[in-house]
Structure 1
Amino acid sequence: MASQCQKEIVADEDRTVSIEIKEGDERDISSLSSNEWLNFIIDARGESRSGSINSLKPKIQKVQPMLREVESNKKCYDPRVVSIGPYHHGKPELEAGERIKIPLARLYLKDSSKETVHELYKEVVNVAGEARKCYAEGLTDFTDESFARMMFLDGCFILQYIYGIVNAIPEVSEIIHHAPLVRRDLFLLENQLPFLVLQVLMCLKSKKHEGEKMITAFIKRIRGEPGERGGLMEKIENFFQKNVWRTQSHREMMQQRNSEDNPPIHFLELVRRQYIDSTTSSIGCHITGDWYSRRSARDFTSVGIQFKPSKTSQLTDIDFKSTCTSGTLQLPPIIVDDITKSILLNLAAYEACPDSITDVGVTSYICFMDSLIDQDEDVKVLRAKGILINFLGSDGHVADLFNEIATDLVPSPHAYVEVKKKIEKHHRSRMKIWVADWLHTYFRNPWTFIAVTAAILAITLSVFQTILAAIQTYLTAHPPKDIKGFSGLEMMKRRM
């Protein structure tokens, strides 16, 4: 595609110069004289064109070089089985993945007439121009026809794969022998399809909102969100949440409204919306956080801070509650498996894009978890509390995962600021720390507890016996006055 050209009138002190500037071409600006360059920056028209840099950036970007340079994370950004969109299209190592697209697309279209399919393809062609603008210029060197075909085929493939996983269609698993790897490839930043293409194709089988609900169900399935808990109290709580409090329903309603008002750019953004609650992610963004010292999960337990899973799996659902003798840090439960690292890294890479949202919620969560996890013992603490559900391997592997993905990531300085303040306040309370240390030292295992309890009982009995002996000695030395001619001691003897 040819670059669009714009003419900018730059006023110099002595003359007016007409300068032709290509969109996104910084070399033309750098060739200006100092006066021309400064006037271009100051000029309102130049500001509206160059100052609003986000408008010139593609919506589906490449991973930032800084993140790709991390050796342990390099393989997490490239597809292994199937390419989606133009960035990795045509790579020799992905030829096998191209061959499974057509059978799945055929499954998606099989219940429709030829006329319907042709009309659907025309609708994709109509949005192909807009879809091309979502990618970086120069990386979509396809003819209009080949680009539209790619959008159509990739979109049908994605929707049929998701439909097959959600509804457990056996034909899908028969065609795709590496379903987990395909699932992983759909979450890559550079392997995305514009969501407007998926919206057009979803209309073939369902209404717009029903199609998005199916995709949301797929994302929840991949995330492994905790289902309803089985105990009586948990069932009562779930009943009230769904029918009285409606907390979960309200959150889903807000997410659907947000999707209607601000549709996602691509599939990965929709995934991020499932991880980050948009109604709470920006809370505290204008609050300046105090200094927060880094402590591991084991360090927390040693000062009386316990861990508890949050009621939701939203990464923003982190809270801290302090009592007179202890504290509780609530963290969202998360399943850690073979694709967790890739998903979190690509979500963080999306947040690092120049045109992305300013709220780095996933990045901040990764860094917060990294501060809690130094080694396998920290993972063991969180796993025992149901916060980390480990399907990856050893606890050491999980610790390495969080330590590696946090490399070169910078969290928001305002993330979890209120939680951090509460933790620091709790940690600075000497009385709470003393009580916690005493409990941790003497009550950390049953045998210590029995020994301490026995010692306390022995001391209590000894004190009680001493008091009784003192009372008896006192009464002997100082008998009470006679009552009806008898001394108190004689009365006691008579009664005996």
Structure 2
Amino acid sequence: MAHVIGTERRHKKCEDLNLISTASDTVSGLVDSIQKELKELPSLPSNCSIYRVPKPLRKIKPGAYRPRMVSIGPFHRYKKHLQPMEAHKLRYLNDLLSRKSQPNLGDYVKAVTKLEYRARQCYSEIIQLKSEDEFVKMMLIDGCFILELILRTNNPHEPRRRDDLILNATWMSQVIKSDLILLENQLPFFVLESLYKRFTGNSNSSGLDTLISRFFQDFVPQPQSITPESSQFRRISEVAKNVLISVTRWPSMKKNQGEVVDPLLKVEAASTIKDKETPAAEEPEEENSKAKHLLDFVRDLLLQSFSAKPENRGKFALTRSATQLNEASVEFVKLPKTCLLNITFSKGVLKIPTMRIEDWTEPLLRNLIAFEQSHDDYSHEITDYAAFIDGLVNSPKDVELLEKKGIIESLLGEPEEVAALFNSLLKEVSPTIMDGNYYFSSICHELEEHYKIPRHKWKASLMRNYCNTPWAFISFLAAVFLLILTVVQTICSILQVTISSQPYM
């Protein structure tokens, strides 16, 4: 019996040792597996500027972030409905190369290849395409497509080609232009600059800024003027400004000693001569552009006269609706089409730049807000602007009031659509306006203090009820005059009675 018990104990001990050994082998295997994955883990991009739109934002308005006609960059490259545009991209590449007498595709390929690593770092995801060389090919074709589209659009004298389905159809060119300002549909701006330099043969790419500004002029509700006071936007030289003027004056193509010469190249040649007079080293490819991509470029245009003043910023404060403020004697005055942030309030007058609302307005604002939400390093002026207007617009009546004052110019149709647009812009948006850095903090506090003063409401009520029409005003004056006469008559009667009641001396 004792022998049997001893045998069982030895078996149990062996089993325990086997379990311990097996567990140890499992731990060792897991450690090796995890260490291998850690070694193979690619590093995250260090210079992101092109992001996926967060799912909470996307679910509010999916179509505002999705390209409809053309894919730019890797995020939507293989979408089936965007494939027909790939052939047009190649046609535009061929036409761009044909603008010079001896097109050399190899120069463009070399230029983009040098930028491949830096360009990959601009995307928030590790880019994996079907082949090893496809990333460079994509950057080249998409970048040249954008350049050719901008060049054709900026030269009104260039004859329209019968096979150019994009510019021959106004609706299509507008849709493509809208696709180019989507956050997920971007190329790094330095790629466009590099391609433009190869195209012009000039190390100065300042002319590209002017061409892009002109290209997106419909999306920017202010004059295309770049001022030295702009805190965000790159200064554009006088030579760059002359690019657009020259393009509009010269015909598209000229024959010069049997060689086809593009007017844009003439302008850049003049710019090169000027550069030689004041020699400077070529800008290194690694230097960061101030604009990250086309969406960021448009954002700079919208804020071109913006000057960040620390005293304007503070804690978030609620803005009363336009009708409420109007009932407290706040006068709404439209400003010329300048920077969106040039909103001021003084002596009961709220001045706001005119905002034009079209089909592309909502996608543009949503993508700009998504871009500002992508990283803490980005300022959030567009988000602050959306929060301020959202406070003013609570109902269709607010929209009607702002339309009447010329502050909103809507091409959407009913005021309900405009109200719904602004009331949904900040849904699922992280509350960056609550961080004590709200741009319109002081204005909101001043409006609230003005609203709380009772006499302002009495004044507004008087003006609304008795002075809203000439006849009402005349009736009001007549009533006041009769009241004064009645008071005078009453006083005279009292005096007469008082005098007659005194004893006769």
TM-score (norm 2): 0.71
CA distance 1:23–1:367, change in 2 (3 Å): farther
Q: Distance in 2 between matches of 1:23 and 1:62?
A: 26
Q: Distance in 2 between matches of 1:137 and 1:287?
A: 35
Is 1:184 matched up with 2:178? yes
Query: Counterpart of 2:213 in 1: which secondary structure?
Result: helix
1:68-467 mapped onto 2 (5 Å cutoff): 68-70=58-60, 73-168=61-156, 169=158, 171=160, 174-176=164-166, 177=169, 178-203=172-197, 204-205=199-200, 207-225=204-222, 249-251=227-229, 255-257=233-235, 263-276=290-303, 280-281=307-308, 283-284=310-311, 287-288=314-315, 292-322=317-347, 327-354=348-375, 357-409=377-429, 410-413=431-434, 414-415=437-438, 416-461=440-485
8 Å CA contact retained: 1:367, 1:411: no
Q: Distance in 1 between matches of 2:378 and 2:290?
A: 17
CA distance 1:219–1:115, change in 2 (3 Å): closer
Q: Give aligned-pair identity as a percent.
A: 28
CA distance 1:376–1:352, change in 2 (3 Å): same
8 Å CA contact retained: 1:80, 1:94: yes
CA offsets per residue over residues 281-320 of structure 1, 9 Å max, x none? Answer: 463486345xx34421111111111212234532221111
Amino acid across the alignment from 1:430: P
**Residue number in structure 1 paired with 2:31:** none
Deviation at 1:467, TM superposition (A): 7.6
CA distance 1:400–1:287, change in 2 (3 Å): closer
* Worse-matched range after superposition: 310-319 or 417-426: 310-319
Amino acid across the alignment from 2:446: K
8 Å CA contact retained: 2:337, 2:353: yes
8 Å CA contact retained: 2:230, 2:307: no
Deviation at 1:200, TM superposition (A): 0.8
Query: Counterpart of 2:476 in 1: which secondary structure?
Result: helix
Q: Distance in 2 between matches of 1:224 and 1:361?
A: 16
Query: Counterpart of 1:329 in 2: which secondary structure?
Result: strand
8 Å CA contact retained: 1:281, 1:316: no
Amino acid across the alignment from 2:356: I
Q: Distance in 2 between matches of 1:56 and 1:255?
A: 23
Query: Counterpart of 2:195 in 1: which secondary structure?
Result: helix
**Residue number in structure 2 paired with 1:14:** none
CA offsets per residue over residues 60-100 of structure 1, 9 Å max, x none? Answer: 11111221122xx1111110100000110021111122222
Q: Distance in 1 between matches of 2:112 and 2:390?
A: 43
Unaligned runs of 5+ in 2: 1-34, 238-286
CA distance 1:78–1:221, change in 2 (3 Å): same
TM-score (norm 1): 0.72
* Worse-matched range after superposition: 157-166 or 412-421: 157-166
Q: Distance in 2 between matches of 1:261 and 1:151?
A: 18
Deviation at 1:224, TM superposition (A): 4.0
Aligned length: 407
CA offsets per residue over residues 32-65 of structure 1, 9 Å max, x none? Answer: xxxxxxxxxxxxxxxxx9xxx9x64632111112
Q: Distance in 2 between matches of 1:379 and 1:386?
A: 10
